[in-house]
Amino acid sequence: MRPARGFGLMLGRSLLALLLLTAPALAQSRTVTPEETRKIAAQAVLSGQPAYGLDLARALLALDPGDVAAATTASRAARALGRYDEAQSYARQAWKSASGDKERYHASIAMAQALASDEKRTRAQFWLRRAAEFAPSDAARTGAQRDFAYVRGRNPWRSSVTLSLTPSSNINNGAASDRIEIGGLSFALSGDAQALSGTELALGLSTEYRIRSGRRTILRFGGSVEAKRYWLSGEAQDQAPQADASDYAYTSAELSFGITRAPKPRPRDAKGPGFGLFDAELAIGKSWYGGEELLTYTRARLGQTFRLAPKTSGWAAALGEWQDRIDNPARSLSSSELQLGVSHRFDAGRFTVIASTKEVNSDSALVAHSARKISAAFQLAEPVFTAETTLSAAFEHRDYEGALFGTEREDDRLKLGVNFFFAEADYYGFAPEVGVSWEKNDSTVDLYATETFGITFGLKSTF
């Protein structure tokens, strides 16, 4: 045995013996095992004697630095004493020494508690996801999820990451046909003006800081970045040899400010419809396309939710947007939109329908139009092949102000989709999501008649 190791064991045994012999609860001298000592230390923390529990746990760790239970108890005791850095250090020691799911679960919970008490709530949320992943039982997993929701509710920061991969039949929004007709004459379209198949990789990052102002108002300051990159299929490269996938790359960055206000509490005996949350947001941003500056924009939104019935909610929203095109100033625009929505929960699932009307003003006849849209979604109550399933459909009619090639342009756009969320196949609280969509745009101008089929693979949080 190495001298240092021997000295550590001797010191640990001496400390442990001294602590146990002087403990109030053990007035009569007797020999206790390390297992009994772990229980005494844990009970001391639970009974409001964290200093004594920490001393016992330290003595056990002097005997065996890999004692996961002792390190976990030491972390909880240090947290109770307000020594948050020390609590995190012991929790980290427990995690490094843990060898099974149960030990990893308790180490993760201890670390999350230490971080949350130290107001490091974003990191605490990560450790609670880790605790849920290694939870030894359904009850323990539910507890970790409940703690996650509590910490998230107290965390002023809200951050999210989105990632998806979408093989698509039309990454460039190209025409469905290889020819168009103008004035009775037929013209061939170049390969890159037609639909090009390929794959889209989308990554989104967003964060928001929330400040509570009074009992019913929250101020929000946020930012987000979105990037989409593409790969052309072999067929698309043969169709348009001069096309480069980087020509379709899209990036946007945005800063936002918002206000959310809760309604006044309703009397318990109140009946009938009532107001829900009011929300207002202003955002500014910039977009790039093909590596070149595309536009800058400002967006505004006002929204109000309503409680219409015990199983029914509704909302109304007014939106405005102002775009300044950098690549083509003539295509700058301003738009206004009104949305009305209602959602009702049936025994078979939740049905949501949204109707909207939109007016787009621009100097360009290719941009200025009016639009009417209706969309619906039905989220099934029961899973389909273990997957939470949502069916969706949308129809939009656009009437453009100006004629193109001597033809008044009108578009009818139909989109159908189904989304599968495999919540049971989660890892660290994230599970795979698969979406299948088909979209067709019928236009009086052949150039704008398009059809797109895509399958999206992504990740979504389960809690």
Over residues 68-84, mean pLDDT: 97
CA 158 to chain centre: 9
Answer yes or no: is pLDDT of 10 > 60. Answer: no
Spatial separation of the C-alpha atoms in residues 427 and 124, rounded to whole Å: 17
Over residues 92-99, mean pLDDT: 96
Answer yes or no: is pLDDT of 182 > 90. Answer: no
Task: Mention every residue, 6+ apart, whose C-beta is less than 8 A from residue 143.
Answer: 135
Say what the pLDDT of residue 30 is.
58
Task: Mention every residue, 6+ apart, whose C-beta is less than 8 A from residue 15.
Answer: 55, 58, 59, 62
Over residues 440-445, mean pLDDT: 94
β-pairing verdict for 185-188 and 198-213? unpaired
Q: pLDDT band for position 453 (50/70/90)?
A: very high
Say what the pLDDT of residue 266 is.
83
- Domain locations in the chain as residue ranges: 3-154, 159-461
Say what the pLDDT of residue 14 is.
47
Task: Mention every residue, 6+ apart, whose C-beta is less than 8 A from residue 155.
Answer: 121, 122, 124, 125
Q: What pLDDT digit, counting tens, does each position of 45-70 carry? A: 999 999 999 999 999 999 999 999 99
Topology of the domain covering 3-154: 1.25.40
Say what the pLDDT of residue 64 is.
94
Q: What pLDDT digit, counting tens, does each position of 376-416 carry? A: 999 999 999 899 999 999 999 999 998 777 789 999 999 99
CATH code of 159-461, in short, is: 2.40.160
Count of beta carbons in the 10 Å neighbourhood of residue 69: 21
pTM: 0.84
Q: pLDDT band for position 7 (50/70/90)?
A: very low
Q: What pLDDT digit, counting tens, does each position of 101-154 carry? A: 999 999 999 999 999 999 999 999 999 999 999 999 999 999 999 999 999 999
Q: pLDDT band for position 3 (50/70/90)?
A: very low
Say what the pLDDT of residue 121 is.
96
Say what the pLDDT of residue 29 is.
53
Spatial separation of the C-alpha atoms in residues 70 and 97, rounded to whole Å: 11
Q: What pLDDT digit, counting tens, does each position of 296-326 carry? A: 999 999 999 999 998 999 999 999 999 999 9
* 3-state SS, one letter per residue, for the chain: CCHHHHHHHHHHHHHHHHHHHHCHHHCCCCCCCHHHHHHHHHHHHHCCCHHHHHHHHHHHHHHCCCCHHHHHHHHHHHHHCCCHHHHHHHHHHHHHHCCCHHHHHHHHHHHHHHHHHCCCHHHHHHHHHHHHHCCCCHHHHHHHHHHHHHHHHHCCEEEEEEEEEEEECCCCCCECCCEEEECCEEEECCHHHECCCEEEEEEEEEEEEEEEECCCEEEEEEEEEEEEEEEECHHHHHHCCCCCHHHHCEEEEEEEEEEEECCCCCCCCCCCCEEEEEEEEEEEEEEEECCEEEEEEEEEEEEEEEEEECCEEEEEEEEEEEEEECCCHHHCEEEEEEEEEEEEEECCEEEEEEEEEEEEEECCCCCCEEEEEEEEEEEECCCECCEEEEEEEEEEEEEEEEEECCEEEEEEEEEEEEEEECHHHCECCEEEEEEEEEEEEEECCHHHCEEEEEEEEEEEECC
Task: Mention every residue, 6+ apart, whose C-beta is less than 8 A from residue 33.
Answer: none
β-pairing verdict for 333-346 and 292-309? unpaired
* 3-state SS, one letter per residue, for 335-353: EEEEEEEEEEEECCEEEEE
Q: Pick the residue with more confidence: 145 or 177?
A: 145
Answer yes or no: is pLDDT of 21 > 60. Answer: no
Say what the pLDDT of residue 25 is.
46
Q: pLDDT band for position 361 (50/70/90)?
A: very high
Say what the pLDDT of residue 405 is.
76
Over residues 223-242, mean pLDDT: 95
Say what the pLDDT of residue 1 is.
42
Spatial separation of the C-alpha atoms in residues 212 and 218, rounded to whole Å: 4
| Average pLDDT of every residue of the chain | 91
